[in-house]
A and B are shown apart, each in its own frame.
Chain A
Amino acid sequence: MIYNWKMIVLVAGLLLSEGHAMAQLEAGFSAGYVKNHIITSPGYRSFTRYEDKSSVTAGLVFRYRLNQWLAVEADPSYLQKRYELRRYGFFDGISRTNTNGYLLLPVMGHFSFGAEKLKGFVNMGGYGGWWMHGRIKGTMANVFGEESGSGALPGFLNIDPPYDYNEKYAFDKRRDRRIEWGLLAGAGLEYQLRNRFVFFAEARYYYSLSDQQKKYMLNQVPQYLDAYVLQAGCLFRFQDIFRKPVQ
């Protein structure tokens, strides 16, 4: 059965492709700005809310063109996901920002349209990722603080003094799901230069399908981290480099 699937994929690839396989390959890099969006709930926690934060992404781009309008693309990349848990009102000043680093492998169909040099494109596909590391930075109230509460600080931090921290996130295997997967969609413009380079800019949305936490309790509030990405990059087109020049 596996042998048959391989044959189907190979035949489909040959039917859809134009020219030599190596001539359709494009490879390069991209980097961009990320606006994260956390989907969860503070429940009935008083004066507490989650807030979205910005971060960055950078990675490689590998695109294999099947024909003029369709390519398959894989973008192994590093993407940061950040969010903040913030208290306000009387508890103003108490907050925690989580910064999580992921290794992502987005795989997508790249659909392009337009003129020869300037094209529009749409990407649609999915991604898998590994939550590599995390960091937490913030301020909390400390009942046994090293210094007494200061009149300069508002509210609760005047009673229990602040403790500032910036430390590595400690993974808990009972709780943390380190594998993430989801869907993605993007749209952008690409410009071909001298039939060798492709510059592109893209707005992409990563829609997480996996809860950041494993299911370990009843009535658990899930937590999803989506990302809106604005990125730009450059690809080198390997087309024709292995073709003998016409004489």
Chain B
Amino acid sequence: MKFSYKYLLPLLLIFFACRKEIPQLNEPDKYRITDFNQMFEAFWTGMNNNYVFWDIDTVNWDQMYRIYKPKFASLGRRDSPLAYAYLKEMTAGLIDHHYTIEFAKGLGLETISPSWDRKLTNPEFHIPIRGEFVASSQKYLDTFITAEVTADVTVNRRGVAVVSGIIPQKILYFHLTNFFLLDNIDYVDPDGVATLRSVMEYFFDNLTRSDLKGVIIDVRGNSGGDLRDLNFLLGRMINKPLFFGYTRSKSGNGRLDYSPWAPAFARPHRAGHALSVPIVVLTDANSVSMSEITAMAVKALPNGHIVGERTWGGMGPLTDNENFNGGQFCLDNFISLVHTSSLMFKYKDGNIYEGIGFPPDVTVPYNRALLDAGKDPQLEKAIEIIH
């Protein structure tokens, strides 16, 4: 039987059998949004490819597409309130506790914050009053120094207020309203005084006191801030890298495409030394982001403790989308910014506390009445632990 090429032909024909087509993915801010159908596609796609918590989030994003695609497609130009309501419904269950949707100026639409809406339903929730502990803590301080840098959007300056002082019994206290210390370290007030630098030098100098009994870092009501401040602050209290958890980012377009977990460290300052005295971090339900990261890093120390309330639960670091190919993104119209974490964070115990909050070692609930009466039970508990 002679060899015949005709036997090869059927095999060649099926050789180019179909593969799935590679879909065209368009960057969310490149959609030219002229109607709500386009806006929905841009938003849904941006979330589909950039949201970093799909591994653990329970929201069924495909189901959101099926349900809301026809709803947005039927909206007219004047249906902004309805579009807003739909967006709020779609995102209500998202676990990212940094997540917000900001809207274009002039629309008169409030920022959507699913975590904030969920916190409001908690009967124990208390609204943060930024800076309240700056004043209340001073009642407990023998000596103290304060500084406030006011925010100024014209020069892209984010504000911070700090107080540091000595509680009788030689306990060093430090409170900050957010983590923009390095950002403002060179700020000079109208009188020519580098006020923030003065407070930080005061705090760092007192860390080296030989008679120091303990340190209290108060991050209650702290809204977070710059990642660099972790090393700037905690780096003075350690003399070798402190392992406290892991981070990972997206590594592709798939919702489950992730990088490996990279170990997270607080790095010592060259002038840092290992504190052996207790370090207590005061947290409350409004301690978010960097304040939670700082609390968890202190907790990783053998002499670290947390007192107060379970934190907010927004630990995923944020940065520009292109840095880690994920996280926040913008749209051309209607939505100005979808503010969401660029990285997931996992504590050294292997648990992810995003959306849950980090628990204190000792729970002391917020008590408005006692604070108004000049008493701070959370701070008093921290003092008691040090003694």
Interface residues of A (CB under 8 A from B): 16, 39-48, 67-70, 85, 91, 96, 109, 111-113, 122, 124-125, 136, 140-148, 156, 160, 163, 165, 167, 172, 174-175, 183, 185, 207, 209, 211, 213, 216-222, 224
Q: Which residues of B contact A163 (CB under 8 A)?
A: 262-263
Is B38 interfacial (CB-CB < 8 Å)?
no
Is B65 in contact with A143, judged by CB distance below 8 angstroms? no
Provide the bound-state CA to CA distance between A234 and B252, in Å.
42
Is B319 in contact with A143, judged by CB distance below 8 angstroms? yes
Is B265 in contact with A144, judged by CB distance below 8 angstroms? yes
Is B265 in contact with A41, judged by CB distance below 8 angstroms? no
Is A167 in contact with B319, judged by CB distance below 8 angstroms? no
Q: Which residue of B lies closest to A47 (CB)?
A: B322
Tell me the interface secondary structure of chain A in the complex: loop
Is A221 in contact with B325, judged by CB distance below 8 angstroms? no
Is B48 in contact with A217, judged by CB distance below 8 angstroms? yes
Q: Which residue of B lies closest to A147 (CB)?
A: B267
Q: Which residue of A lies closest to B249 (CB)?
A: A140
With beta carbons under 8 angstroms apart, the residue of A46, A85, A140 that contacts B260 is: A140
Q: Considering the complex, which residues of chain B in the window 1-35 have a beta carbon less than 8 Å from any beta carbon of chain A?
A: 1-3, 7-8, 11-12, 14-15, 17, 19-20, 22-23, 25-27, 30
Q: Which residues of B contact A39 (CB under 8 A)?
A: 19, 22
Q: Considering the complex, which residues of chain B in the window 246-269 have a beta carbon less than 8 Å from any beta carbon of chain A?
A: 247, 249, 251-257, 259-260, 262-267
Given contact pairs A42-B253, A140-B249, A143-B247, A217 touches B62 in the complex (Cβ within 8 A):
yes
Given contact pairs A41-B25, A165-B260, A167-B260, A175 touches B254 in the complex (Cβ within 8 A):
yes
Q: Which residue of B lies closest to A46 (CB)?
A: B322
Given contact pairs A16-B1, A148-B267, A96 touches B251 in the complex (Cβ within 8 A):
yes
Given contact pairs A174-B256, A183-B14, A46 touches B263 in the complex (Cβ within 8 A):
no
Q: Name 26 interchain pairs, CB-CB below 8 A, sorted by A.
A: A16-B1, A39-B22, A41-B22, A43-B49, A44-B25, A45-B252, A69-B1, A69-B3, A70-B3, A125-B11, A140-B249, A142-B263, A143-B227, A143-B317, A144-B230, A144-B264, A174-B256, A185-B15, A211-B20, A217-B62, A217-B254, A218-B65, A220-B23, A221-B253, A221-B254, A222-B19
With beta carbons under 8 angstroms apart, the residue of B265, B267, B323 that contacts A141 is: B323
Q: Considering the complex, which residues of chain B in the window 81-101 have a beta carbon less than 8 Å from any beta carbon of chain A?
A: none
Is B136 interfacial (CB-CB < 8 Å)?
no
Q: Which residues of A contact B65 (CB under 8 A)?
A: 218
Q: How far is the CB of B343 from chain A (nearest CB, A)?
A: 7
Is A111 in contact with B7, judged by CB distance below 8 angstroms? yes
Q: Which residues of A contact B138 (CB under 8 A)?
A: none
Is A219 in contact with B25, judged by CB distance below 8 angstroms? yes
Is B254 in contact with A213, judged by CB distance below 8 angstroms? yes
Q: How far is the CB of B214 from chain A (nearest CB, A)?
A: 26
Provide the bound-state CA to CA distance between A67 and B2, in Å.
9
Chain B 136-171 per-residue mask, 1 if CB under 8 angstroms from chain A, else 0: 000000000000000000000000000000000000
Provide the bound-state CA to CA distance between A8 and B264, in Å.
65
Is B266 in contact with A219, judged by CB distance below 8 angstroms? no
Provide the bound-state CA to CA distance between A46 and B329, in Å.
13
Given contact pairs A124-B8, A156-B323, A172-B256, A44 touches B19 in the complex (Cβ within 8 A):
no
Is A46 in contact with B19, judged by CB distance below 8 angstroms? no
Q: Which residues of B contact A217 (CB under 8 A)?
A: 48, 61-62, 254-255
Top 7 nearest A-B pairs (CB, nearest first) are A144-B264, A69-B3, A43-B25, A44-B27, A46-B322, A124-B11, A163-B262
Q: How far is the CB of B38 from chain A (nearest CB, A)?
A: 15
Indicate the member of A42, A113, A125, A218 with the most B CB atoms within 10 Å.
A218
Provide the bound-state CA to CA distance between A69 and B260, in Å.
51
Given contact pairs A142-B247, A163-B263, A85 touches B252 in the complex (Cβ within 8 A):
yes
Is A146 in contact with B11, judged by CB distance below 8 angstroms? no
Q: Which residue of B lies closest to A18 (CB)?
A: B1
With beta carbons under 8 angstroms apart, the residue of A16, A96, A122, A221 that contacts B22 is: A221
Given contact pairs A45-B325, A183-B17, A219-B48, A111 touches B22 in the complex (Cβ within 8 A):
no
Is B266 in contact with A96, judged by CB distance below 8 angstroms? no
Is A219 in contact with B263, judged by CB distance below 8 angstroms? no
Is B241 interfacial (CB-CB < 8 Å)?
yes
Provide the bound-state CA to CA distance between A219 and B26, in Å.
11
Is B45 interfacial (CB-CB < 8 Å)?
yes
Q: Which residue of B lies closest to A148 (CB)?
A: B267
Is B187 interfacial (CB-CB < 8 Å)?
no
Given contact pairs A45-B325, A109-B7, A221-B25, A216 touches B256 in the complex (Cβ within 8 A):
yes
Is B324 interfacial (CB-CB < 8 Å)?
yes
Is B11 in contact with A143, judged by CB distance below 8 angstroms? no
Is B19 in contact with A224, judged by CB distance below 8 angstroms? yes
With beta carbons under 8 angstroms apart, the residue of B2, B22, B25, B267 that contacts A146 is: B267
Is B3 in contact with A40, judged by CB distance below 8 angstroms? no
Q: Which residue of B lies closest to A169 (CB)?
A: B260
Q: Which residues of B contact A70 (CB under 8 A)?
A: 1, 3, 7
Is A111 in contact with B25, judged by CB distance below 8 angstroms? no
Q: Which residue of A lies closest to B319 (CB)?
A: A143
With beta carbons under 8 angstroms apart, the residue of A44, A124, A144 that contacts B227 is: A144
Given contact pairs A44-B26, A47-B322, A219-B45, A146 touches B263 in the complex (Cβ within 8 A):
yes
Q: Which residue of A lies closest to B19 (CB)?
A: A224
Provide the bound-state CA to CA distance between A165 and B258, in Å.
14
Q: Which residues of B contact A41 (CB under 8 A)?
A: 22, 25, 253
Provide the bound-state CA to CA distance between A225 and B228, in Å.
41
